[in-house]
Amino acid sequence: MDMEAGTTVIRSVDDVLDARAVTTVFQPIVRLDSWWRKRHEVVGYEALTRGPAGTPWESPLELFDAAAERGRRAELDWICRATAYRAAMDAGLPYGLTLFVNTEPQALDVPCPPDLAPTILDAQLRLRVVAEMTVRAIGHDPSALLTAAEAGRAAGWGIALDDVGAEPASPALLPFVHPDVVKVDRHLTRRPDVDPAARVVNAIVAYAERSGAAVLAEGIETEEHLAAALGLGATLGQGWLFGRPGPLPPDVADRRSTLSVPFVVPPATTGGRTPYEIVAARKPTAEATKRMLLPLSRYLEAMAMDPAEPPILLASFQEGRFFTPATARRYASAAGTAALVAALATELPAEPAPGVRGTALGGDDPLRGEWNVVVVGPHFAGALVARDLADTGDDGDRRFTYALTYDRDLVLDTARALLHWIVPT
C-alpha cells in the first residue's frame, strides 16, 4: 500500500520512521478548581503522537506495535518525543506551562539518534517537561523504570505515573517511582462508586499527602465526571470537557498559569548499596539463627497476601536451593494479587514460581551474602534484612546478623535497592 505523507511515499512502518513522519497533537490539562469558576485555567498540555494520516500506522497503538515488530520501538519513542518538543518550541510554549510527554523507560537505554539530539538538548533548556511513564512498565523492567525516572529528574524534569488505578495493585508502585504527578485512570473518574475504587483512592491520597504530588484525573468528559474527579482528590484534570487533542492555540506564547505543576523532592538514590547495608547504617543489628528468623520472614510474607491492598514483595534467598517448593507455593499465592513478586538467588530461573519474577545472582554478587524479605503496600511497609555469618552445619542453625524495620522510608530504600537488581524477562 502506497500512502503519501507530505512529499514522502509511505509503504511501510520503516518509511514512517526513516522520514520521521509523525505529528503531535496537544490536549490541555487544567486546574480543576478554576473550572467551577468558569475560568478554564490551563496549566499545561499532554503531547499525543499520530502517525501519517490515512495510513495503517495513524493510530499510535498500531504505530508502536509495528515499530516493535521491526525492533525499532526505542527509536520511535525518541522520534515522538523530539517531534513533540519541536512542535511545542515552534509554537512558543512558555516555560510556565508544563508539557507532558509519554516516555518508554527502555528507550532511554538506547542512544538518541544523532539527528534528534539537538532538539532534545534544546528542549531541556526551553521547556518544563513532565515525562509520563505507565505503571505497567515496572512489571516488565523495574530497573529501567527507576533508572528512567532518575534520568528525567537529572535533566530537571518531572515524572508522572500514568494509568494508576487501572489495576487494584497499581497504587503500591507509587512510592518506588515517586512521581510528581499521579494520573488517575479514567475508569475511576467514570465509576467512582465501585468497591475497589475507594481503596485505590485512599492509597493515592495517602501518597499525595506524604509526597506533595499532584493528582490528575483523566477522561473527564462531563460535569458528572468533573464532580467525581474532585471527589477523588484530583487538583488537575484532562478530557474532552476541557478540550480535544489538536494544535496548540495561536496565543499559547502569551498564556500564563497561576498554578505550576509541582515537582516534589525525589528520594535519595541507594548508591548501589544492598538492603542490609542500607538498614544497618541506620538501625542496630542483632544476631539470630535462621530458625529464629523464619517466623519473622513468614509474617512479612503473609502481609504480602492482602488482596484488599495488594503490595510488592521482594526477597533475596542467597542460593536457589533456599527457594524451596514450599516457598514457591507461598510466593505464587502472593503473586495472584500483588503488584509485583520477585525473588533473587543464584541459579534461579526467570519464573521460579507462577507469576514470580526471578533474577539469577552471580557467584560474586554482594546479595549472595544476604537474606532479605521486603514488603511494601499502600499503607504497610516492613523489611527483614540479614547477613550470613558463614556458619557450616545444619541450615536452621546458620547465624545471621539482622535487623527488622517498619520505618516506611527505610523499607522503601531497601525495596528500591532490590528493584535495581531485577532484570527484564
- pLDDT one-digit tens code per residue, 216-250: 999 999 989 998 888 888 999 999 999 999 999 99
pLDDT given for residue 143 in this prediction: 72
Residue 42, pLDDT > 80, answer yes
Say which range, 25-34, 136-145, 198-207, 374-383, has the weakest mean pLDDT. 136-145
pLDDT given for residue 37 in this prediction: 63
Question: What domains are defined for the chain?
Answer: 3-254 (3.20.20.450), 275-419 (3.30.870)
pLDDT given for residue 370 in this prediction: 96
Question: Which single residue is written with the C-alpha cell 507509587?
Answer: 174
Task: Grade residue 1 by pLDDT with cuts at 50, 70 and 90.
Answer: very low
Listed in sequence order, the DSSP H helices in 213-289 are: 223-231, 275-280
Provide the grid cell at 26.
496537544
Distance between CA 415 and CA 376 in Å, rounded?
A: 8
pLDDT given for residue 216 in this prediction: 94
- State the DSSP string of 280-343: HTTS--EEEEHHHHHHHHHHHHHHTT-SSS--EEEEEEEEGGGS-HHHHHHHHHHHTTSSEEEE
Residue 5, pLDDT > 60, answer no
Task: Grade residue 102 by pLDDT with cuts at 50, 70 and 90.
Answer: very high
Distance between CA 147 and CA 125 in Å, rounded?
A: 21
Secondary element (H or E) of residue 146: helix 142-154
Are the beta carbons of 352 and 358 closer than 8 angstroms?
A: yes
pLDDT given for residue 150 in this prediction: 82
Residue 137, pLDDT > 90, answer no
> By C-alpha distance, which of 140, 176, 143 is closest to 350?
140
In whole numbers, what is the pLDDT of the chain averaged over residues? 89
Grouping H, G, I as helix, E, B as strand and the rest as coil, residue 46 is: strand
Distance between CA 346 and CA 341 in Å, rounded?
A: 17
Say which range, 78-82, 150-154, 325-329, 346-350, has the weakest mean pLDDT. 150-154
Grouping H, G, I as helix, E, B as strand and the rest as coil, residue 55 is: coil
Torsion, Cα of 311, 316, 320, 326 (10° steps):
-40
pLDDT given for residue 64 in this prediction: 93
Percent of the chain whose pLDDT exceeds 90? 62
Distance between CA 106 and CA 74 in Å, rounded?
A: 7
Question: Which single residue is written with the C-alpha cell 539518534?
Answer: 113
How would you class 362 by CB atoms within 10 Å of its CB: exposed for 0-12, middle for 13-18, buried for 19 or more? exposed
Are the beta carbons of 180 and 263 closer than 8 angstroms?
A: yes
State mean pLDDT over 288-310.
Answer: 93
